[in-house]
Structure 1
Amino acid sequence: MKLLSLNVGRPEASEHTDQAEGVTGIDKRPVPGPVRVAAPGPKGVGASGLEGDAVCDMRHHGGDDQAVYAFAREDLDEWQGTLGHVLRNGSFGENLTTEGVDVTGAKIGERWRVGPDLVLEVASGRIPCRTFQGHLGEKGWVKRFTARAAPGAYLRVIEPGAIRAGDTIEIVHRPDHEVTVAFQFRAVTTDRDLLPRLLVAADALDPEAVEAARTYVAKYGGGDVAGDAA
């Protein structure tokens, strides 16, 4: 398992963002590194965890629980075949393009060591937005991306460090619960009956997903917590 590509973005004008200045940092480009990665601070204050990487709309992106975004090269390859054109590393706005890592099957709270020092923790899947759709120029992209339920993972920084393309990735902790990135993503998008089952991972889950789960339980009860979360 390795970091195939390390990607950072610069602010660029876009008509597909609700950000007041009309700029976005979604167009990430590969850099060799090293790049220092550290917790950026809470959402609304902190931006990207990667030094030199732009997050322009801090209302919805960035902060400690979305410090780093990872997407598997294997999933990019699947979309490349579906869309019929080349998707370079960083095409989906990911900071880390991984190889050999089951990002979709990663569990909330799972920890990865990247390179010698950096330790990251899986916090949630990425929810697609109109900026993402406009960046790719694909009609109906939000719906298509959501239906596949392989959203990539947002990660928080547990131990800071500098990383570079080619660094190894090691899973150093994998929780004993059912909540994978795919499961969490489906729960907050297409299958809200799953929301109560997210609470077993509440300690590591993005706070917005925890709030959604608790709101659902308060309104509808615990629901059916049996079954397979794969």
Structure 2
Amino acid sequence: MNVLSIQTGKPEPTPAKSGLTGHFKKPVTGPVQIGPLGLSGDTICDLDNHGGVDQAVYLFGEPDRVWWQTELGRELPAGFFGENLLISDLLSADLAVGDKLTIGNVMLEITAPRIPCATYAAHIGDPQAIKQFYRAARPGAYARVLQTVQITAGQPVEFTSYNGDRILIIESTRHYLRHFDDPDFLARVLTVPAHHKLRALAQERLSKHAPETGPTSV
């Protein structure tokens, strides 16, 4: 695999309720600094739902982009899905929480799937866009940055599979759509380096279902 292109976004108007978005990302040339909160020059407008250390970088694979291009019947340039890195030969359906991608001295760790929002639907221009995104099971992936340095388009990407319980990101999406109602899945979440919001939710819900223990008799 290699990095086909690197994208960052500036604030732009959107018909979605947020008003402004950094979703419309464009390729940049030359080295780009990448840190714990993402790429230098990239903009996150909705900080409550996007960005942060566990959503620092959004990855999308070229096979998924090409599939979507056929599905939507139009040209989809790099950055169309709001991705920071477009990577050759990367199939997001195969990614699991904890998988690592190494690009030079940069190391990224997969944390979660992308969840489509109103800005995405407005960008596509189809009221069924969000449902279509879920059905496609090609969501791209968010990652945290474990090692920081500059990256450049064209660099090779080394993939390292997580060596624990493999929770595929599309599996996480399915449980999201079921409102995370499966305690067995939530227990698994706590064994992997998942997004901190999902780990917090899992801890909260499992603690509510934990059996209460009374005083021990002597």
TM-score using structure 2 length? 0.88
Secondary structure, in 3 states, of the residue corresponding to 2:93? coil
Secondary structure, in 3 states, of the residue corresponding to 2:39? coil
Counterpart in the other structure of 1:154: 142
Which is greater in Rg? 2
Counterpart in the other structure of 2:8: 8
Alignment of 1:65-104 (within 5 A): 65-104=54-93
- Tell me how far 1:217 sits from its aligned partner: 3.9
Rounded to whole Å, the distance in 1 between the matches of 2:184 and 2:201 is 9
Rounded to whole Å, the distance in 2 between the matches of 1:189 and 1:167 is 36
Counterpart in the other structure of 1:44: none
Q: 1:33 to 1:185 in 2, by over 3 A?
A: farther
Deviations 1:163-192 (A, max 9, x none): 111111101352231301111111112474
Rounded to whole Å, the distance in 2 between the matches of 1:28 and 1:198 is 33
Counterpart in the other structure of 1:120: 108
Secondary structure, in 3 states, of the residue corresponding to 2:59? strand
Write the letter of the residue equivalent to 1:77. Answer: V
Rounded to whole Å, the distance in 2 between the matches of 1:201 and 1:163 is 30
- Tell me how far 1:210 sits from its aligned partner: 2.0
Rounded to whole Å, the distance in 2 between the matches of 1:168 and 1:132 is 29
Deviations 1:9-42 (A, max 9, x none): 1111122142xxx2111001111231010102xx
Deviations 1:62-119 (A, max 9, x none): 01000000011111111111111111111000001111123221110111101x2100
Counterpart in the other structure of 1:187: 175
Contact 1:109 1:201 in 2 (8 A): no
TM-score using structure 1 length? 0.83
Counterpart in the other structure of 1:206: 195
Q: Which runs of 5+ in 1 are unaligned?
A: 41-48, 222-230
Contact 2:3 2:157 in 1 (8 A): yes
Contact 2:189 2:202 in 1 (8 A): no
Q: 1:216 to 1:171 in 2, by over 3 A?
A: same
Write the letter of the residue equivalent to 1:143. Answer: K
Secondary structure, in 3 states, of the residue corresponding to 1:146? helix
Counterpart in the other structure of 2:214: none
Q: 1:195 to 1:28 in 2, by over 3 A?
A: farther
Write the letter of the residue equivalent to 1:177. Answer: D
Q: 1:185 to 1:27 in 2, by over 3 A?
A: same
Structural RMSD (CA):
1.9
